[in-house]
Amino acid sequence: MSSDELTVETTHTSLDILSTIRARDGATLEDVVREHEIAKSTAHRHLVTLEESGFLRKSGDTYRIGFKFLNYGEYAREQWYWFSAVKRAVGELAKRTEEECDFVVDDHGRVITIVESYHKWAKYESEEGSKRYRAYMGTYYPMHATGSGLAILSTYSPERVDAVIDQWGMPELTDHTITSREELFAELARADERGYAVGDQYYTEGLRSVGKPVFSPDGEVIGALSVSGPTYRIDGSVLERELPRALSEVVESLEAELSESAPGQ
């Protein structure tokens, strides 16, 4: 039996409606009807069910994402076996580098931030006209456009990398973003050789990130640890030696802790 035969169409509709409301920062019943081309009565039943379950909240005629997702999200990351060790590692890296640090995992072909640490001394003044960057927990990023995403991709087979690209594409987010497979595979080869990846203004103008994959005791990549900051600070010896050294040392310590606390140890 195929996966399509196992899915429930009404559940798909509810999930699609949630995605629409999230993308629009709120939507009315009429918005949902137009977007999904479904009967008004059908859309209303989905919205009422989701609201009564806490997954939506209503303000006037507008439905927004409900706070129940926050409860579920916190539970999802805290029940992850490696969470406590990863959280300590992110804090340690932020303390050492005095830059923003985070840990991401691959979630169906995109990376999502599950731990972040915004160091109190880190300042992200960006060039005029560029957007500010801040790694918030739960944020998705395309894997080709961040140091941590590239770090994870560098551990994958070419076939798996191709599958990610086929699913999500390679959107051009800045003038520096990698947009061709040839360029991407060359970048992944460099990352594999160095042991870490550099996102050089691929996601945000004026921002660089350095990411390194983290492996479980059984050799599976569980995510990537990264440090990010403005190009005027992350440059020269900081980019080439100081941050990679700090990142490598923290990852080495983290992987040792993971080995000691692995199930069955």
Domain CATH number, residue 109:
3.30.450.40
pLDDT value at 177 more than 70: yes
Q: Point out the domain boundary residue: 45, 66, 87.
A: 66
Residue-level pLDDT at 53: 94
Q: What is the mean pLDDT of residues 197-221?
A: 96
Residue-level pLDDT at 102: 94
pTM value is 0.83
Greater confidence, 46 or 9? 46
Both 17 and 53 in one domain: the answer is yes
pLDDT value at 264 more than 90: no
Distance CA 36, CA 165 (A): 26
Q: Point out the domain boundary residue: 66, 81, 100.
A: 66
pLDDT value at 1 more than 90: no
Distance CA 59, CA 63 (A): 6
Q: Per-residue confidence at 260, pLDDT binned at 50, 70, 90?
A: confident
Q: Per-residue confidence at 6, pLDDT binned at 50, 70, 90?
A: low
Per the prediction, the chain carries an average pLDDT of: 90
Number of folded domains that form the chain: 2
Both 182 and 234 in one domain: the answer is yes
Distance CA 134, CA 26 (A): 22
Both 186 and 91 in one domain: the answer is yes
Measure the CA angle with vertex 256, ends 251 and 262; round to 5°.
120
Residue-level pLDDT at 130: 42
Residue-level pLDDT at 261: 77
pLDDT value at 68 more than 90: yes
Q: What is the mean pLDDT of residues 198-213?
A: 96
**What are the DSSP calls for 130-199, one per residue?**
PPP----TT-EEEGGGSHHHHHHHTTS-HHHHHHHHHHH-----STT---SHHHHHHHHHHHHHHTSEEE
Both 47 and 115 in one domain: the answer is no
Q: Point out the domain boundary residue: 66, 83, 105.
A: 66
Out of 118-127, 165-174, 224-233, least confident range: 118-127
Amino acid symbol at 181: R
Both 78 and 60 in one domain: the answer is no
Residue-level pLDDT at 137: 75
Measure the CA angle with vertex 106, ends 103 and 111; round to 5°.
65
pLDDT value at 3 more than 80: no
Residue 47 Cα to chain centre, angstroms: 28
Most confident of 3-17, 78-92, 173-187: 173-187
DSSP H helical ranges for 3-109: 3-6, 9-24, 29-36, 40-52, 68-78, 83-97
Residue-level pLDDT at 129: 40
Q: What is the mean pLDDT of residues 26-33?
A: 95
Both 230 and 139 in one domain: the answer is yes
Q: Per-residue confidence at 126, pLDDT binned at 50, 70, 90?
A: very low
Buried b (16+ CB within 10 A) or exposed e, 132-155: ebebeeeeebbbbbbbbbbbbbbb
Both 133 and 246 in one domain: the answer is yes
Residue-level pLDDT at 139: 85
Q: What is the mean pLDDT of residues 38-51?
A: 95
- Rounded to 10°, the helix 243-261/83-97 angle is 160
Residue-level pLDDT at 128: 43
The two three-digit tokens of residue 16, written as one number: 């699609």
Distance CA 115, CA 83 (A): 8
Both 162 and 244 in one domain: the answer is yes
Both 39 and 94 in one domain: the answer is no
Q: What is the mean pLDDT of residues 141-152?
A: 96
Distance CA 203, CA 222 (A): 22
Both 128 and 243 in one domain: the answer is yes
Could you give the 3-state DSSP secondary structure of residue 101?
Answer: strand
Residue-level pLDDT at 124: 47
Domain CATH number, residue 12:
1.10.10.10
Both 206 and 239 in one domain: the answer is yes
Domain assignment of residue 93, given as a range: 73-261
Could you give the 3-state DSSP secondary structure of residue 226?
Answer: strand
Q: What is the pLDDT of residues 76-86, one digit of tens each?
A: 888 888 999 99
Both 162 and 120 in one domain: the answer is yes
| Percent of the chain's residues with pLDDT above 70 | 89
